[in-house]
Amino acid sequence: MIYLVLSIICSVSVGIIFKAARRYDTCNTQMVAWNYVFALLLCYLFFSPDLSIVNTSAPWHVYIPLMILMPTIFIMLAKSIKYIGIVKTDSAQRLSLFIPLLAAWLIFNESFNAYKIAGIAVAFPAILLILLREDKHTEKRNWFFPVLVLLGFGVIDVLFKHIALTTGIATTTSMFIVFCGALAVMALVVLYQITIVKIPLKLMSVAFGALVGIFNFGNILFYIKAHEAFKENPSTVFAAMNMGVIILGSVAGVAIFKEKLSKWNYFGIFLALVAITLITLSQIESK
């Protein structure tokens, strides 16, 4: 259970770090780039990826989109947290689970039971209510960021599932390769900003990027260990992780950063928890 708790804490901490970084002289793109530097080092130390099996037959048609999509969505995550807060961003990120579920049905030909259908049906109004805005001064464009976060993380889950199902390469090795490519992409972006846009390297971006990388990797490491500890009941990990992040993220957003939510937003969060519960029950029933 300790691994599950640590994974939840690490996941929410990433959002807290992005939110706190706004108070200092930082640059989101530089933070994301440094995040991959530290995540790569930790990934190599803890997972010892077997790069000898990676060759031209590896699923590069999936790796390359992930190399571009992952850092892009990370930047969208930072912007979403900046403009609409941790509570709604974490909820949107966790509700992205309905996208791989639809993909499982449409692409991987998995069967749907009543619980899974009900879970997806509840997820849609949950998303709408969580993202419902009452602040008329909030620019409409800011609400594209959590939507992009939701769609982006959903597509990333589908791509990683495709790798797991169609190749003999360990997911941790694939993750290391993708992290390498994501770092290369972000290095080019940062280099462009420094030379063309004239955004200087910011020391605080290194510090906050290191924290993001450590907690981002911690989330992955402890999530894997939680699945190993609960290997007989992975649905427990799935439910607890998603519900835990939404609940702890909500507490952090409201208590630490004084984020304001309407009664409809709270109801949307409640529906999100119901949707996750139904989807978890669908996994238990399908065994």
> From CA 284, how far away is CA 205, in angstroms rounded?
43
Angle at 253 between CA 218 and CA 102, to 5 degrees: 65
Q: Could you tell me if residue 26 is left (phi over 0), alpha (psi between -120 and 50 degrees) or otherwise beta?
A: beta
Q: Provide the domain count of the chain.
A: 1
CB 154 within 8 A of CB 97: yes
List the structure tokens of 155.
Answer: 């597509």
242, 287 Cβ separation under 8 angstroms: no
The span from the first CA to the last CA of the chain, in angstroms, equals 22
pLDDT at residue 141 in the model: 65
> Which residues of the chain have a pLDDT value below 50?
none
pTM for the structure as a whole: 0.88
**Which domain does 19 fall in, by range?**
2-285
Q: How high is the pLDDT of residue 269?
A: 93
Q: How far apart, in whole angstroms, are the C-alpha atoms of residue 159 and residue 167?
A: 12
pLDDT of residue 79: 92
